[in-house]
Chain A
């Protein structure tokens, strides 16, 4: 049997090992998402005080399950699939050492199962962060170590596939931008996983009584894992934006130099953001906090602001080149809003930028963190980044991966079309409500904000009750969207109808539009004048959109300084 098959839609040669590995990682990611999603439902119905479903023990237990299953297992399994797609598949190359790759996957699964087991049996009620000296059973830490080692192996396979592709000349020129972005995600993953080893191995030994771990040092090194892992997400998500922009509307890359340099800025500076969690800690001084929380004078923020411009501008230009050039926003009106890959990408960009990005930079400001730390403002922020941003982008990509890699049509395609809307709007309501409740001081990770049994009464403003109820409704919408995603993907993969080669046109009712119209092949092949290579058409729509974004950013940022100035003098 030939080790490669040719993708009938894109013409890429697809290595069968890459095919199988991607499928395995995608299935593991979906199982993790299901577990994390059930946990989300239980946590949500407990924090909604009107229902207050779980008791305190199970609330913190399930909250631990939610954090680990979503932020570590779902996200990293999916990211490994993305790396295997951006490496071997986009470069037409084989997977080197497939047995080692399967070994890495096996370690990840074993680690995840061990961690889930310890959590569900109540031996690890320490939440996602497991701050020392809260102690879990040693197997909890061991499971995380196994998972991290497995992920490191897979990242190594990805890097090896780049070398193999180069040596075997499976592509010409420089790697595609999407692969370049995936390489940055891979490098950040190595940084992240090494931090993970540096903290979980000592903590594992500590849990067996073999050494001491300082609680502040733990927080410092742990966040090198905890926050940096979210930066793998950012790099992977931005790569997926570029990927989906091309697949859904023929989005172009305005300038390779600018987009690639922005990715390099991520590698250099984004891991410093772990300081965001330590701004009101006793262990570090002002200079350390200011320098690190700003990721070297906000150079990683600059990178995100660049991608936040170049991705929509590339979409706008792709649409205009294909003839949708009416007025300022004609390209947006004529965009394929019924293509779940496209709508997911747009929601991911908008909510990540407007809510996740702006709140993140603001709360990550040294002094403003005083009025944000450990309040609901923080989960409000990261549900906008990791869920509405990263997970939404991953979902959009899945609608393309199922026909391209699994060669299956999408089941319940009508549901799939509305899924991004339901998920994005629900999660938007959810994150905004959390952020708002947090500005009243409502704590995160708290079983009972009516404080029954406490020695002194605390009565939040009645507005908080309303906001928490709205949060619950948004959360339920998001969970419903997530459930539809799982139903559609699992059904398509395991019971779906096959997509026969070359017959995409027949199945407009069950595969995304981009795979039928192939917009990236419709871009006119005009050469640009080498004297004036920047003259590739104006992008007025994007200019208006980023201007609105910039105004929102400035307003929110300074409003928070104003809020800070009203509280007690502290210094």
Chain B
């Protein structure tokens, strides 16, 4: 008797499996273990992990901290937004609110910064163009990630979480200057 899907299974159906089924299950199981192992392994050896440092924060407190940060490292203004150039290793703050990213960041290639992100109103999405790096930005949470720009150039921060009618104009800017130029600036400032 062959079983099918629409008729009741009669008698004891707990029987040894088809040989091909056994082989496939063994392969699939081994693959599942590879899939599982890759994530902890990347935490140990890989350069891109979404863990970071995470805290609850009152939106007003986060805004105040961002304003202090802007005042401390402000070097100019563009499109009504402050341009901020923090030194390598600095704590960097980025605020998302309807519908802008503040401030404009000027970073140095190859240097590492601790980037804090949060929102003052609703959920926003951090998308770094053209590299396609994405993080969720949630009001009430400070998400701090150590980032190292690996390439100099012009970058954009595109909001990719729906945040209301002006969602599509929510574009921010990041500029990464070459390592040599950055070092010269730092030297000049001293």
Question: A246-B5, A367-B50, A375-B134 are contacts. A254–B17 as well, Cβ < 8 Å?
Answer: yes
Cβ 8 A contact of A570, one of B9, B27, B49, B172:
B49
User: Which size class do B's interface residues fall under?
Assistant: 35 or more
Contact B134 A257 (CB under 8 A): no
CA distance A131 to B121 in the complex (A): 12
B173 touches A (CB below 8 Å): yes
Contact B165 A456 (CB under 8 A): no
Chain B contacts with A in 18-36, Cβ cutoff 8 A: 18-22, 24-25, 27-29, 31-33, 35-36
Chain A contacts with B in 152-174, Cβ cutoff 8 A: 171-174
Contact A565 B21 (CB under 8 A): no
CA distance A491 to B53 in the complex (A): 59
Beta-carbon contacts of B29-45 to A below 8 Å, as 1s and 0s? 10111011011101100
Q: Which 3 A-B pairs have the closest CB atoms?
A: A242-B5, A443-B160, A282-B143
Contact B139 A445 (CB under 8 A): no
Cβ 8 A contact of A458, one of B49, B134, B171:
B171
Q: Which residues of B have CB within 8 Å of A542? A: 20
CB<8 Å pairs between A and B, sample of 30: A56-B165, A60-B162, A134-B122, A177-B3, A216-B140, A245-B5, A278-B136, A280-B134, A282-B141, A283-B138, A297-B32, A297-B36, A318-B4, A365-B39, A373-B134, A373-B136, A374-B125, A441-B130, A441-B131, A446-B160, A449-B168, A455-B100, A455-B171, A456-B156, A458-B129, A520-B4, A533-B15, A550-B27, A550-B31, A571-B51
Question: A246-B4, A294-B39 are contacts. A565–B47 as well, Cβ < 8 Å?
Answer: yes
Chain B contacts with A in 139-190, Cβ cutoff 8 A: 139-143, 145-151, 156, 158-165, 167-173
Contact B162 A445 (CB under 8 A): yes
Contact A174 B35 (CB under 8 A): no
Contact A313 B21 (CB under 8 A): yes
Contact A536 B8 (CB under 8 A): no
Contact B49 A176 (CB under 8 A): no
Cβ-Cβ contact count across A and B, 8 Å cutoff: 341
B21 smallest CB distance to A (angstroms): 6
B127 touches A (CB below 8 Å): yes
Q: Which residues of A have CB within 8 Å of B161? A: 131, 374, 445
User: Which size class do A's interface residues fall under?
Assistant: 35 or more
Q: Which residues of A have CB within 8 Å of B173? A: 455-456
A290 touches B (CB below 8 Å): yes
A164 smallest CB distance to B (angstroms): 15
Q: Which residue of A lies closest to B165 (CB)?
A: A56
Cβ 8 A contact of A569, one of B130, B147, B169:
B147
B11 smallest CB distance to A (angstroms): 7
Beta-carbon contacts of A106-133 to B below 8 Å, as 1s and 0s? 0000000000000000000101000101
Question: A520-B4, A539-B20, A570-B47 are contacts. A365–B35 as well, Cβ < 8 Å?
Answer: yes
Chain A contacts with B in 57-90, Cβ cutoff 8 A: 57, 60, 90
CA distance A456 to B139 in the complex (A): 24
A354 touches B (CB below 8 Å): no
CA distance A449 to B170 in the complex (A): 11
Interface SS, B side: mixed
CA distance A308 to B50 in the complex (A): 32
A370 touches B (CB below 8 Å): yes
Cβ 8 A contact of B32, one of A219, A301, A372, A526:
A301
Q: Which residues of B have CB within 8 Å of A523? A: 2, 4
CA distance A568 to B129 in the complex (A): 12
CA distance A429 to B39 in the complex (A): 31
Contact B133 A173 (CB under 8 A): no
Q: Which residue of B lies closest to A297 (CB)?
A: B36
Question: A246-B4, A253-B4 are contacts. A219–B9 as well, Cβ < 8 Å?
Answer: no
* Extra A-B contacts (19), CB below 8 Å, given A216-B140, A374-B127, A534-B21: A56-B165, A131-B123, A172-B8, A215-B139, A216-B138, A219-B138, A245-B5, A256-B9, A256-B13, A281-B143, A370-B135, A375-B132, A440-B130, A452-B168, A458-B129, A534-B16, A543-B20, A554-B31, A567-B132
Contact B20 A313 (CB under 8 A): yes
Contact A534 B17 (CB under 8 A): yes
CA distance A441 to B21 in the complex (A): 40
B165 smallest CB distance to A (angstroms): 6
A89 smallest CB distance to B (angstroms): 10
CA distance A301 to B141 in the complex (A): 32
A247 touches B (CB below 8 Å): yes
A299 touches B (CB below 8 Å): yes
A37 touches B (CB below 8 Å): no
CA distance A451 to B140 in the complex (A): 28
The residue among B6, B150, B172 with the most chain A CB atoms within 10 A of its own CB is B6
Q: Which residues of A have CB within 8 Å of B127? A: 374-375, 441, 443
Q: Which residues of A have CB within 8 Å of B162? A: 60, 127, 131, 134, 445
CA distance A550 to B30 in the complex (A): 12
Q: Which residues of B have CB within 8 Å of A527? A: 1
A319 touches B (CB below 8 Å): no
Contact B32 A570 (CB under 8 A): no
Cβ 8 A contact of B134, one of A239, A306, A372, A533:
A372
Contact A133 B165 (CB under 8 A): no
CA distance A560 to B40 in the complex (A): 16
Q: Which residues of A have CB within 8 Å of B40? A: 290
Contact B141 A283 (CB under 8 A): yes
Contact B49 A440 (CB under 8 A): no
Q: Which residues of B have CB within 8 Å of A250? A: 4
CA distance A553 to B31 in the complex (A): 10
Q: Which residues of B have CB within 8 Å of A462? A: none
CA distance A31 to B151 in the complex (A): 52
Chain A contacts with B in 270-289, Cβ cutoff 8 A: 278-283, 285-286, 289
Cβ 8 A contact of A60, one of B146, B165, B171:
B165
Question: A173-B11, A297-B36, A523-B4 are contacts. A216–B141 as well, Cβ < 8 Å?
Answer: yes
A466 touches B (CB below 8 Å): no
Cβ 8 A contact of B6, one of A178, A219, A254, A306:
A178
Q: Which residues of B have CB within 8 Å of A174? A: 8-10, 13
B189 smallest CB distance to A (angstroms): 25
Q: Which residue of B lies closest to A133 (CB)?
A: B122
Contact A279 B50 (CB under 8 A): yes
CA distance A567 to B49 in the complex (A): 11
A130 smallest CB distance to B (angstroms): 10
CA distance A172 to B172 in the complex (A): 66
Contact A370 B48 (CB under 8 A): yes
A538 touches B (CB below 8 Å): yes
Contact B6 A172 (CB under 8 A): no
